[in-house]
A = this chain, B = another copy of it.
Amino acid sequence: MEFLEKAILEKGKVLDGDILKVGSFFNQLMDISILEKIGKNIYQRFKDKNVTKILTVEASGIAMAVATALCFKCDVVFAKKSKTKNVEGEVYTADCYSFTHKTLNQLIVPKEYINSSDNVLIIDDFLATGEALNSLMDIVSQAKAKTVGIGIGIEKGFQKGGDKLREQGVDLFSLAVIDKMDTNGITFRK
């Protein structure tokens, strides 16, 4: 069994409403050995793709993105969820519905942070319906750059976002894919 699946079974907790609580090792508290392994695994999977930039979304995607970028030695950009005083100049935007928080956000990346020559690896901690990833890929397209792959920590396979991306031909790598989960247990995809 993979290290992340093992940690999910040992320390994760399924809450009502398809919520998987992994805050004690994968989100608000990040187990550094798990984070380091995630970065190295994603690097191994995409190291031949000539990745020039890693793109993620604040806040919980940043940790995995940084751990991975330190392996690639490439810069990291994160999309902000609302326009703040520190963002100025022209920006790419894409709407994004959050399944967890039931809110509509706008993802924002200043135009100067992605170049048309970039080979972008998108990183996120969770994949459920795929809304956030579609928005990030949209931003990469607007920049006329290329999305060379997507690296995910935990994919909720039963929400089908990952399968839709694979059908579209996206090179998607998830470290753990959950096909079924409820308060009785968690079943991973083989």
Q: Which residues of A contact B (CB under 8 A)?
A: 15, 17, 19, 21, 23-24, 27-33, 35-36, 58-59, 62-63, 66-67, 69-70, 72-78, 80, 84-88, 100-101, 109-110, 112-113
Contact = CB atoms under 8 A, between A and B. Distances in A.
Contacts of A86: 19, 21, 23, 27-28, 100
Give the copy number: 2
B76 A29 contact: yes
Contact of A66 (B29, B35, B58, B74): B35
Interface residues of A: mostly helix, strand, loop or mixed? Answer: mixed
A17 to B, nearest CB: 8
Nearest to A69: B32
Return the 9 tightest CB-CB contacts between A and B, nearest first: A59-B59, A58-B59, A62-B62, A66-B66, A29-B113, A30-B76, A29-B77, A63-B66, A32-B69
A63 B56 CA distance: 12
A87 B85 CA distance: 28
A112 B46 CA distance: 35
Contacts of A23: 86-87, 110, 113
A113 B67 contact: no
Contacts of A73: 32-33
Contacts of A62: 59, 62-63, 66
B100 A70 contact: no
